Amino acid sequence: MQPRLLSILMLVVLSSRVEAGCIDPATLVESTASITRYFDDEEKRALPGVLGMSGTSWFLSPTSMVTVEHVATSMRLSDRTWKQVGIRRGEAEQQVSVRVQHVVGADGEKIAVLELQTALSGMRGLQLRMQPLVPEEPLASLAYPDDRLRIAGGRFVQYAGDGRFAGTALLEMYDGDDRLVLDYGSSGAPVLDCAGRVVAVVNKLFVTTIQFMSQVTRIPTAWGNPNVVSVPIQVLKGFSSVE
């Protein structure tokens, strides 16, 4: 037990030293937003009890945003019809009409690029990094779980080569001792390297659900294991803002 504890402590210390030279993710909050679409009456009849859907998105330019495909699909966004969504950065929120411009990716989860009908001012488009990640590389993420801005830190674990998550990037992300920081509403959040470039997009969280009588407990993976599945940004190669 003691040697393992020592190795964990050493890893934390080494990671802290590396992260000390990284960009502060808080300086990029204007690049990320909570995106929400409330359904019309016809849609609510088809989905009883569901008023709308929310997720996280981030800017490539004043007229384009990125999220994961299942966020765009759950919001019932269209590649032909403009639909109104609420975009909130911090405490400021505005209504914008959007449509799906591109859906890119291979098997499994894909990335959706959304076109904004009206350009937004005061935003900062994020740069993309096409070079692959290396194990233990420090990472950060800006997300809106429960429509509230959270900043997570962590590391890259590995690219999944086969199985259910083939082609994804597996990460270990947390905020202090909170391993559920990238929870509901975080799908679509950017994963950033030390220079603040996007390397992946958050897709899902690894969680085990245990129900005892009427109480449901959600348990994250153990420390030292990946807890986030993300879509590598390489599928966006060829888009603007690529370095």
Question: pLDDT at position 19, please?
Answer: 58
Residues whose CB is less than 8 angstroms from the CB of residue 117 and which lie 6 or more positions away in sequence, other chains included = 82, 96, 97, 98, 99
pLDDT at 39 over 80: yes
- Please give the Cα distance from 96 to 118 (Å, whole number): 7
Q: Which of 182, 62, 149, 150 is nearest to 114 (CA)?
A: 62
Between 2 and 232, residue with greater pLDDT: 232
pLDDT at 7 over 80: no
Helices (H), 65-220: 69-74
User: Model pTM?
Assistant: 0.86
Strand (E) or helix (H) holding 44: helix 41-46
Fill in the amino acid letter for 163.
G
Residues whose CB is less than 8 angstroms from the CB of residue 25 and which lie 6 or more positions away in sequence, other chains included = 140, 141, 142, 151, 153, 192, 196
Percent of the chain residues past pLDDT 70, beyond the cut:
89
Fill in the amino acid letter for 169.
A
Q: Which of 181, 192, 114, 100 is nearest to 155 (CA)?
A: 192
Q: Which of 140, 127, 211 is nearest to 182 (CA)?
A: 140
Q: Of the ranges 18-22, 36-40, 72-76, 226-230, which one carries the lowest mean pLDDT score?
A: 18-22
Question: pLDDT at position 10, please?
Answer: 37
Task: Decide: 32 and 89 in contact? Cβ < 8 Å.
Answer: yes
Task: Decide: 31 and 125 in contact? Cβ < 8 Å.
Answer: yes
CATH number of 126-236: 2.40.10.10
Taking the domains of the chain in order of start, what are their residue ranges? 126-236
The number of C-alpha atoms within 13 Å of 74 and in the hemisphere containing its C-beta is: 17
